[in-house]
Structure 1
Amino acid sequence: MYYSPEQLCAAFVGPQLIATGPLVEVVNEVKRHHDAHPNDMILIFDHAQSRPIEVDLRGSMEDVFERLEKQQKPPESKTKVKKPGRPKLGVVSKEVTLLPKHWEWLAQQRGGASVTLRRLVGEAMKAADPLAAQRTAQQSTYRLMTAVAGDLPNYEDAIRALFAAEEEEFINVIADWPEGLRAHIIQISAVAFDPSLVPETEESDSR
Protein backbone atom coordinates (compact mmCIF):
# COMPACT_ATOMS: atom_id res chain seq x y z
CA MET A 1 0.00 0.00 0.00
CA TYR A 2 1.31 3.45 -0.92
CA TYR A 3 0.66 6.56 1.16
CA SER A 4 1.20 10.28 0.87
CA PRO A 5 3.18 11.82 3.77
CA GLU A 6 0.77 14.78 3.79
CA GLN A 7 -2.47 12.82 3.88
CA LEU A 8 -4.51 13.49 7.00
CA CYS A 9 -5.09 10.61 9.36
CA ALA A 10 -5.89 9.79 12.96
CA ALA A 11 -4.59 7.16 15.38
CA PHE A 12 -6.54 5.50 18.18
CA VAL A 13 -6.00 3.14 21.07
CA GLY A 14 -9.47 1.81 21.60
CA PRO A 15 -11.75 4.88 21.60
CA GLN A 16 -8.93 7.20 22.72
CA LEU A 17 -7.49 9.51 20.04
CA ILE A 18 -3.70 9.67 20.44
CA ALA A 19 -2.73 11.63 17.32
CA THR A 20 -4.25 13.39 14.33
CA GLY A 21 -2.79 15.34 11.41
CA PRO A 22 -0.47 14.61 8.46
CA LEU A 23 0.68 11.00 8.25
CA VAL A 24 4.34 11.74 9.04
CA GLU A 25 3.41 13.56 12.25
CA VAL A 26 0.93 10.91 13.32
CA VAL A 27 3.41 8.10 12.74
CA ASN A 28 5.96 9.94 14.87
CA GLU A 29 3.49 10.15 17.78
CA VAL A 30 2.30 6.59 17.23
CA LYS A 31 5.87 5.26 17.40
CA ARG A 32 6.49 7.16 20.66
CA HIS A 33 3.28 5.75 22.14
CA HIS A 34 4.14 2.25 20.96
CA ASP A 35 7.57 2.37 22.57
CA ALA A 36 6.06 3.55 25.87
CA HIS A 37 3.07 1.17 25.76
CA PRO A 38 4.07 -1.81 23.57
CA ASN A 39 0.96 -3.81 24.47
CA ASP A 40 -1.49 -1.19 23.20
CA MET A 41 -3.22 -1.96 19.90
CA ILE A 42 -2.94 1.20 17.78
CA LEU A 43 -5.19 1.74 14.76
CA ILE A 44 -4.53 4.43 12.15
CA PHE A 45 -7.20 5.65 9.72
CA ASP A 46 -7.13 8.16 6.89
CA HIS A 47 -9.50 11.12 7.26
CA ALA A 48 -11.10 10.88 3.82
CA GLN A 49 -12.68 7.42 4.07
CA SER A 50 -11.53 6.02 7.41
CA ARG A 51 -9.55 3.29 5.68
CA PRO A 52 -6.92 1.60 7.87
CA ILE A 53 -3.28 2.57 7.31
CA GLU A 54 -0.72 -0.11 8.08
CA VAL A 55 2.57 1.03 9.61
CA ASP A 56 5.32 -1.34 10.73
CA LEU A 57 6.47 0.01 14.12
CA ARG A 58 9.34 -2.43 14.68
CA GLY A 59 12.83 -1.15 15.32
CA SER A 60 13.95 2.44 15.78
CA MET A 61 12.16 5.59 14.68
CA GLU A 62 14.59 5.72 11.75
CA ASP A 63 13.64 2.15 10.78
CA VAL A 64 9.94 3.02 10.84
CA PHE A 65 10.35 6.09 8.64
CA GLU A 66 12.69 4.28 6.24
CA ARG A 67 10.00 1.67 5.62
CA LEU A 68 7.33 4.36 5.41
CA GLU A 69 9.37 6.27 2.83
CA LYS A 70 9.37 3.19 0.61
CA GLN A 71 5.59 3.07 0.90
CA GLN A 72 5.43 6.66 -0.32
CA LYS A 73 7.21 5.98 -3.59
CA PRO A 74 5.07 5.30 -6.68
CA PRO A 75 5.01 1.62 -7.75
CA GLU A 76 6.98 2.06 -10.93
CA SER A 77 10.32 0.99 -12.31
CA LYS A 78 13.29 3.34 -11.97
CA THR A 79 13.81 3.05 -15.73
CA LYS A 80 10.24 3.94 -16.61
CA VAL A 81 9.94 7.09 -18.69
CA LYS A 82 8.15 9.89 -16.87
CA LYS A 83 4.84 10.70 -18.52
CA PRO A 84 3.08 14.07 -18.63
CA GLY A 85 0.76 14.95 -15.79
CA ARG A 86 0.98 15.47 -12.05
CA PRO A 87 1.18 12.00 -10.44
CA LYS A 88 1.47 13.37 -6.87
CA LEU A 89 -2.05 14.74 -7.26
CA GLY A 90 -3.35 11.64 -9.01
CA VAL A 91 -3.72 13.62 -12.26
CA VAL A 92 -3.55 11.74 -15.56
CA SER A 93 -2.73 13.55 -18.78
CA LYS A 94 -4.95 12.68 -21.77
CA GLU A 95 -5.94 14.42 -24.97
CA VAL A 96 -8.95 16.76 -24.96
CA THR A 97 -10.39 18.04 -28.25
CA LEU A 98 -12.26 21.36 -28.19
CA LEU A 99 -13.16 24.13 -30.61
CA PRO A 100 -10.98 27.29 -30.67
CA LYS A 101 -13.67 29.31 -28.90
CA HIS A 102 -13.69 26.77 -26.07
CA TRP A 103 -9.91 27.01 -25.62
CA GLU A 104 -10.14 30.80 -25.64
CA TRP A 105 -12.76 30.77 -22.93
CA LEU A 106 -10.81 28.28 -20.82
CA ALA A 107 -7.65 30.37 -21.10
CA GLN A 108 -9.47 33.32 -19.56
CA GLN A 109 -10.60 31.38 -16.49
CA ARG A 110 -8.83 31.55 -13.16
CA GLY A 111 -6.25 28.80 -12.83
CA GLY A 112 -6.18 27.97 -16.52
CA ALA A 113 -7.73 25.25 -18.62
CA SER A 114 -6.90 22.20 -16.48
CA VAL A 115 -8.23 23.63 -13.23
CA THR A 116 -11.39 24.86 -14.93
CA LEU A 117 -12.05 21.54 -16.63
CA ARG A 118 -11.58 19.65 -13.36
CA ARG A 119 -13.97 22.02 -11.63
CA LEU A 120 -16.61 21.66 -14.35
CA VAL A 121 -16.32 17.87 -14.33
CA GLY A 122 -16.57 17.84 -10.53
CA GLU A 123 -19.68 20.00 -10.63
CA ALA A 124 -21.22 17.73 -13.26
CA MET A 125 -20.46 14.67 -11.14
CA LYS A 126 -22.11 16.22 -8.09
CA ALA A 127 -25.12 17.27 -10.17
CA ALA A 128 -25.50 13.73 -11.53
CA ASP A 129 -25.41 12.26 -8.01
CA PRO A 130 -25.83 15.05 -5.43
CA LEU A 131 -25.97 12.60 -2.52
CA ALA A 132 -22.70 10.82 -3.36
CA ALA A 133 -20.68 13.00 -0.98
CA GLN A 134 -23.19 12.39 1.81
CA ARG A 135 -23.06 8.63 1.35
CA THR A 136 -19.27 8.67 1.31
CA ALA A 137 -19.17 10.61 4.59
CA GLN A 138 -21.73 8.30 6.16
CA GLN A 139 -19.75 5.21 5.22
CA SER A 140 -16.47 6.76 6.37
CA THR A 141 -17.94 7.68 9.76
CA TYR A 142 -19.58 4.28 10.09
CA ARG A 143 -16.27 2.49 9.44
CA LEU A 144 -14.46 4.59 12.03
CA MET A 145 -17.18 4.19 14.65
CA THR A 146 -17.45 0.45 14.10
CA ALA A 147 -13.69 0.02 14.51
CA VAL A 148 -13.14 2.11 17.64
CA ALA A 149 -16.51 2.94 19.21
CA GLY A 150 -18.53 -0.25 18.90
CA ASP A 151 -18.50 -0.88 22.65
CA LEU A 152 -19.39 2.67 23.68
CA PRO A 153 -22.83 3.65 25.06
CA ASN A 154 -25.41 4.71 22.47
CA TYR A 155 -23.37 3.28 19.59
CA GLU A 156 -26.42 1.85 17.81
CA ASP A 157 -28.40 5.06 18.36
CA ALA A 158 -25.52 7.03 16.87
CA ILE A 159 -25.46 4.82 13.79
CA ARG A 160 -29.19 5.27 13.27
CA ALA A 161 -28.91 9.06 13.61
CA LEU A 162 -25.95 9.09 11.20
CA PHE A 163 -27.79 7.33 8.39
CA ALA A 164 -30.99 9.27 9.08
CA ALA A 165 -28.93 12.50 8.72
CA GLU A 166 -30.23 13.72 12.10
CA GLU A 167 -27.28 15.87 13.14
CA GLU A 168 -28.63 17.19 16.44
CA GLU A 169 -29.58 13.71 17.62
CA PHE A 170 -26.23 12.33 16.46
CA ILE A 171 -24.25 14.92 18.44
CA ASN A 172 -26.42 14.37 21.51
CA VAL A 173 -25.96 10.60 21.63
CA ILE A 174 -22.16 10.80 21.30
CA ALA A 175 -21.85 13.65 23.81
CA ASP A 176 -20.34 11.42 26.51
CA TRP A 177 -17.79 9.72 24.25
CA PRO A 178 -14.07 10.52 24.69
CA GLU A 179 -13.39 14.11 23.65
CA GLY A 180 -10.81 13.37 20.95
CA LEU A 181 -12.94 10.67 19.35
CA ARG A 182 -16.04 12.85 19.46
CA ALA A 183 -14.25 15.79 17.82
CA HIS A 184 -12.84 13.57 15.09
CA ILE A 185 -16.22 11.98 14.37
CA ILE A 186 -17.92 15.36 14.15
CA GLN A 187 -15.22 16.51 11.72
CA ILE A 188 -15.40 13.56 9.33
CA SER A 189 -19.20 13.31 9.49
CA ALA A 190 -19.96 16.96 8.63
CA VAL A 191 -20.75 16.24 4.97
CA ALA A 192 -23.07 13.40 6.03
CA PHE A 193 -25.43 16.02 7.43
CA ASP A 194 -24.79 18.75 4.85
CA PRO A 195 -23.45 17.56 1.45
CA SER A 196 -22.76 21.19 0.47
CA LEU A 197 -19.83 21.17 2.93
CA VAL A 198 -17.75 18.88 0.69
CA PRO A 199 -14.24 20.44 0.76
CA GLU A 200 -12.71 22.12 -2.27
CA THR A 201 -9.83 20.07 -3.68
CA GLU A 202 -8.89 22.06 -6.74
CA GLU A 203 -5.23 22.75 -7.35
CA SER A 204 -3.89 25.77 -9.22
CA ASP A 205 -1.90 24.89 -12.28
CA SER A 206 1.72 25.96 -12.37
CA ARG A 207 2.64 28.06 -15.34
Structure 2
Amino acid sequence: MHPSQSQSCTAFDGHRLIASGPLREVAAATKQAIDAGAKGPVLVFDDQTSLPVEIDFRGGVDDVLSRLGLASAAADAAPRGPGRPRLGVVAREVTLLPRHWEWLAAQAGGASATLRRLVEDARRGEQDRALRAGEALDRFMQAMAGDLPHYE
Protein backbone atom coordinates (compact mmCIF):
# COMPACT_ATOMS: atom_id res chain seq x y z
CA MET A 1 0.00 0.00 0.00
CA HIS A 2 1.25 3.51 -0.80
CA PRO A 3 1.75 5.43 2.47
CA SER A 4 0.70 9.02 3.03
CA GLN A 5 1.91 11.52 5.62
CA SER A 6 -1.41 11.71 7.42
CA GLN A 7 -1.92 7.96 7.41
CA SER A 8 -2.56 6.42 10.80
CA CYS A 9 -1.05 2.96 11.29
CA THR A 10 -0.28 0.34 13.88
CA ALA A 11 2.83 -1.86 14.05
CA PHE A 12 3.26 -5.23 15.71
CA ASP A 13 6.21 -7.44 16.60
CA GLY A 14 4.49 -10.78 16.40
CA HIS A 15 1.45 -10.23 18.62
CA ARG A 16 3.08 -7.42 20.64
CA LEU A 17 2.09 -3.82 19.86
CA ILE A 18 5.07 -1.67 18.89
CA ALA A 19 3.37 1.64 18.12
CA SER A 20 0.18 3.20 16.83
CA GLY A 21 -0.36 6.66 15.35
CA PRO A 22 0.93 8.74 12.44
CA LEU A 23 3.04 6.83 9.92
CA ARG A 24 6.19 8.84 10.70
CA GLU A 25 6.06 7.97 14.41
CA VAL A 26 5.14 4.33 13.81
CA ALA A 27 7.92 3.85 11.23
CA ALA A 28 10.51 5.38 13.58
CA ALA A 29 9.38 3.29 16.58
CA THR A 30 9.27 0.13 14.46
CA LYS A 31 12.79 0.75 13.14
CA GLN A 32 14.02 1.16 16.73
CA ALA A 33 12.26 -2.09 17.73
CA ILE A 34 13.85 -3.94 14.82
CA ASP A 35 17.28 -2.56 15.73
CA ALA A 36 16.69 -3.68 19.34
CA GLY A 37 16.07 -7.25 18.16
CA ALA A 38 12.38 -7.62 17.43
CA LYS A 39 11.54 -11.31 17.08
CA GLY A 40 8.99 -10.76 14.36
CA PRO A 41 7.25 -11.00 12.15
CA VAL A 42 7.04 -7.21 12.16
CA LEU A 43 3.79 -6.08 10.54
CA VAL A 44 2.50 -2.54 9.96
CA PHE A 45 -1.19 -2.04 9.16
CA ASP A 46 -3.16 0.94 7.88
CA ASP A 47 -5.64 1.70 10.69
CA GLN A 48 -8.52 2.47 8.34
CA THR A 49 -8.28 -0.46 5.92
CA SER A 50 -6.08 -2.99 7.76
CA LEU A 51 -4.05 -3.35 4.58
CA PRO A 52 -0.34 -3.93 5.19
CA VAL A 53 1.92 -0.90 4.85
CA GLU A 54 5.18 -1.78 3.16
CA ILE A 55 8.18 -0.06 4.72
CA ASP A 56 11.82 -0.59 3.80
CA PHE A 57 13.63 -0.66 7.16
CA ARG A 58 17.19 -0.72 5.78
CA GLY A 59 19.57 1.92 7.12
CA GLY A 60 18.89 4.38 9.92
CA VAL A 61 15.63 5.98 11.00
CA ASP A 62 16.25 8.99 8.74
CA ASP A 63 16.83 6.65 5.78
CA VAL A 64 13.55 4.84 6.46
CA LEU A 65 11.61 8.09 6.75
CA SER A 66 13.20 9.60 3.65
CA ARG A 67 12.24 6.54 1.57
CA LEU A 68 8.67 7.01 2.76
CA GLY A 69 8.84 10.64 1.68
CA LEU A 70 8.40 11.83 5.27
CA ALA A 71 10.48 14.45 7.02
CA SER A 72 12.61 13.19 9.90
CA ALA A 73 11.27 13.55 13.42
CA ALA A 74 13.82 16.32 14.04
CA ALA A 75 12.41 18.34 11.15
CA ASP A 76 8.81 18.49 12.40
CA ALA A 77 7.05 21.61 11.29
CA ALA A 78 4.33 23.28 13.30
CA PRO A 79 0.93 21.92 12.26
CA ARG A 80 -1.10 24.23 10.09
CA GLY A 81 -4.73 25.00 10.66
CA PRO A 82 -7.48 24.33 8.12
CA GLY A 83 -8.22 26.66 5.26
CA ARG A 84 -6.07 29.10 3.33
CA PRO A 85 -5.97 32.25 5.42
CA ARG A 86 -3.66 34.08 3.00
CA LEU A 87 -6.37 33.76 0.35
CA GLY A 88 -9.13 34.84 2.72
CA VAL A 89 -10.67 31.35 3.02
CA VAL A 90 -12.09 30.73 6.48
CA ALA A 91 -14.14 27.96 8.07
CA ARG A 92 -17.81 27.57 7.04
CA GLU A 93 -17.31 29.16 3.65
CA VAL A 94 -17.62 27.20 0.45
CA THR A 95 -15.11 28.02 -2.26
CA LEU A 96 -15.93 26.71 -5.70
CA LEU A 97 -14.84 27.44 -9.21
CA PRO A 98 -17.19 29.50 -11.41
CA ARG A 99 -18.24 26.39 -13.35
CA HIS A 100 -19.28 24.75 -10.06
CA TRP A 101 -21.43 27.73 -9.10
CA GLU A 102 -23.01 27.70 -12.57
CA TRP A 103 -23.88 24.02 -12.23
CA LEU A 104 -25.31 24.55 -8.74
CA ALA A 105 -27.41 27.50 -9.90
CA ALA A 106 -28.89 25.38 -12.70
CA GLN A 107 -30.07 22.66 -10.29
CA ALA A 108 -33.66 22.44 -9.06
CA GLY A 109 -34.02 24.34 -5.80
CA GLY A 110 -30.83 26.33 -6.21
CA ALA A 111 -27.36 25.98 -4.74
CA SER A 112 -28.28 25.53 -1.08
CA ALA A 113 -30.84 22.79 -1.72
CA THR A 114 -28.45 20.96 -4.03
CA LEU A 115 -25.62 21.14 -1.50
CA ARG A 116 -27.91 19.82 1.26
CA ARG A 117 -29.02 16.98 -1.03
CA LEU A 118 -25.41 16.09 -1.83
CA VAL A 119 -24.51 16.07 1.87
CA GLU A 120 -27.45 13.80 2.69
CA ASP A 121 -26.49 11.39 -0.09
CA ALA A 122 -22.96 11.26 1.29
CA ARG A 123 -24.26 10.60 4.80
CA ARG A 124 -26.22 7.63 3.49
CA GLY A 125 -22.88 6.34 2.24
CA GLU A 126 -21.80 6.06 5.87
CA GLN A 127 -23.62 2.73 5.98
CA ASP A 128 -21.12 1.52 3.41
CA ARG A 129 -18.38 2.66 5.75
CA ALA A 130 -19.59 0.19 8.40
CA LEU A 131 -19.33 -2.60 5.83
CA ARG A 132 -15.79 -1.52 4.88
CA ALA A 133 -14.84 -1.43 8.59
CA GLY A 134 -16.02 -5.02 8.99
CA GLU A 135 -13.96 -6.09 5.99
CA ALA A 136 -10.92 -4.29 7.44
CA LEU A 137 -11.41 -6.12 10.73
CA ASP A 138 -11.57 -9.46 8.92
CA ARG A 139 -8.30 -8.68 7.07
CA PHE A 140 -6.57 -7.71 10.30
CA MET A 141 -7.76 -10.76 12.23
CA GLN A 142 -6.72 -13.09 9.42
CA ALA A 143 -3.24 -11.53 9.29
CA MET A 144 -2.71 -11.49 13.06
CA ALA A 145 -4.55 -14.58 14.26
CA GLY A 146 -5.10 -16.73 11.17
CA ASP A 147 -2.43 -19.24 12.22
CA LEU A 148 -3.48 -19.49 15.88
CA PRO A 149 -5.16 -22.66 17.13
CA HIS A 150 -8.97 -22.53 17.15
CA TYR A 151 -9.02 -19.25 15.19
CA GLU A 152 -11.87 -20.31 12.94
TM-score tier (shorter): 0.5 to 0.7
Amino acid corresponding to residue 102 of structure 1 in structure 2: G
Amino acid corresponding to residue 121 of structure 2 in structure 1: A
| 2:87 equivalent in structure 1 | none
Given candidates 98, 107, 121, the residue that maps to 2:118 is 121
1:149 aligned onto 2:121 = no
Deviation at 1:152, TM superposition (A): 3.9
Query: How many residue pairs end up in the alignment?
Result: 122
Deviation at 1:126, TM superposition (A): 4.5
Q: Secondary structure at the match of 2:136?
A: helix
Deviation at 1:37, TM superposition (A): 1.3
| 1:62 equivalent in structure 2 | 62
Which ranges of structure 1 fall in alignment gaps of 5 or more residues?
71-92, 107-115, 157-207
Q: Secondary structure at the match of 1:155?
A: coil
Q: Is the 8 A contact 1:8 1:47 kept in 2?
A: yes
1:126-182 Cα offsets, whole Å, 9 max, x none, are 43x6641221011000000000122346532xxxxxxxxxxxxxxxxxxxxxxxxxx
The alignment-based identity, stated in percent, is 39
Relative to structure 1, is the Cα distance of residues 130 and 31 closer, same or farther in structure 2, using a 3 angstrom cutoff?
closer
Q: Is the 8 A contact 1:9 1:45 kept in 2?
A: yes
Deviation at 1:55, TM superposition (A): 0.5
| 2:33 equivalent in structure 1 | 33
Deviation at 1:5, TM superposition (A): 1.7
Q: Secondary structure at the match of 1:21?
A: strand
What TM-score, normalized to structure 2?
Answer: 0.66
Relative to structure 1, is the Cα distance of residues 2 and 29 closer, same or farther in structure 2, using a 3 angstrom cutoff?
same
Q: Secondary structure at the match of 1:3?
A: coil
Displaced runs of 4 or more, over 6 A: none
| 2:130 equivalent in structure 1 | 134
Greater helix proportion: 1
Relative to structure 1, is the Cα distance of residues 24 and 153 closer, same or farther in structure 2, using a 3 angstrom cutoff?
same
What TM-score, normalized to structure 1?
Answer: 0.50
Which ranges of structure 2 fall in alignment gaps of 5 or more residues?
71-95
